[in-house]
Amino acid sequence: MTKSLRECINDATAHNVAIGHFNISNLEALHAIYAAAKKLNVPVIIGVSESEQAFVGLEEAAALVGTIRERDNYPIFLNADHHANFESVKKCIDAGFDMVIIDGTKLSFDDNVAVTKQCVDYAREVTKATGRDILVEAELGFIGSGSVMRDEIPEGAGVLTKPEDAQKFVTSTGIDLFAPSVGSIHGLIKSGKPHIDAVLVAEIKQITGIPLVLHGGSGLRDEDFTNAIKAGIAIVHINSEIRLAFRDAAEASLEANPTEITPAKLMQPAIDAIEKVVESRLKLFNNIV
């Protein structure tokens, strides 16, 4: 039987490795990510954010990922990435997602706790009624928004999560996974990424006692990833790097084949390019040489 997401996270924690989480908004990315994971035989999480969901479709994403998992008996999971309110999270749970992220980072601490608790309560209710183990992640601290190209690090990026706030947040909400602000920022920044504070990761891991998730992985240095994983990161999110790989490869393919009209032919280089990026990140996160 395929391992559950919770079991895969526990395994990752026990072995000091991390599960790769990659966002999709099209079939090309899904095929590429799955191909890379399968080649290395490691679990993988597919992320669909609120904006990506509007393009892919909620039930469609659940059907695609669920079909692959069942057909191939493979640990591939679907996460509702950065959903900003309870209604949106509820729709994803109802559609069959394995995991949800309630992103209350724009709210006050107390409002963030309240909406997160509401999502945790609903997930537990559904788990009780259906037996589906739905994991809930929430965030505290500023890690920017949007997997985009940036000229510079956005203002406020230096505000990192305090361990005591993390502990209060985790105990007040009962979440399964916690995403702190430890130095990374969403997007690819031309002037380079801020450094990950691995000491802070270790402190937050120690005080909260639950698996931690690193967002804003694109563009980070290899040693930032490896130090963060050693310190307690169990899942790493990558999006901008695969968006960029897709765009560059698709553009080159269209330019090189001006008379070709078959999407499968035109987009194969984009699939290959995403697969390459994902494979290299998965090797690093899973300590595969």
Structure letter (DSSP) for residue 186: S
**Collapsed DSSP state (helix, strand, coil) of residue 105:** coil
Q: Does 217 bind ligand G3H (CB under 6 A)?
A: yes
Q: Give the range of 65-73, 163-171, 230-238, 257-265 binding Zn ion by CB under 5 A.
A: 230-238
Among 28, 52, 81, 275, binds ligand G3H (CB under 6 A): 81
Is the CB of residue 282 less than 8 Å from the CB of residue 222? no
Is the CB of residue 79 less than 8 Å from the CB of residue 98? yes
> Per-residue contact track with ligand G3H, 184 to 213, x per CB under 6 A?
--xx--------------------------
Smallest gap, in angstroms, from Cβ of residue 25 to Zn ion? Answer: 14
Q: Which of 221, 216, 280 lies closest to 245, judged by CA?
A: 280
Q: Does 215 bind Zn ion (CB under 5 A)?
A: yes
Q: Which is nearer to ligand G3H, 112 or 261 (CB)?
A: 112
Q: Does 282 bind ligand G3H (CB under 6 A)?
A: no
Q: Which is nearer to ligand G3H, 23 or 227 (CB)?
A: 23
Q: Give the range of 2-10, 170-178, 234-242, 265-273 binding ligand G3H by CB under 6 A.
A: 234-242
Q: Is 81 a catalytic residue?
A: yes
Give 269's contacts (C-beta < 8 A, 6+ positions apart).
249, 250, 252, 253
CA-CA-CA-CA torsion sign (271, 277, 280, 286): negative
Residue with tokens 């078959």: 262
Considering CB distances under 5 to 8 angstroms, the limit depending on partner class, which of Zn ion, ligand G3H, none binds residue 138?
A: none
Length of the chain: 289
Strands 99-102 and 135-140: parallel
Smallest gap, in angstroms, from Cβ of residue 155 to ligand G3H? Answer: 17
Contact residues toward Zn ion (CB under 5 A) are 215, 237
Looking at the annotation, which residues are catalytic? 81
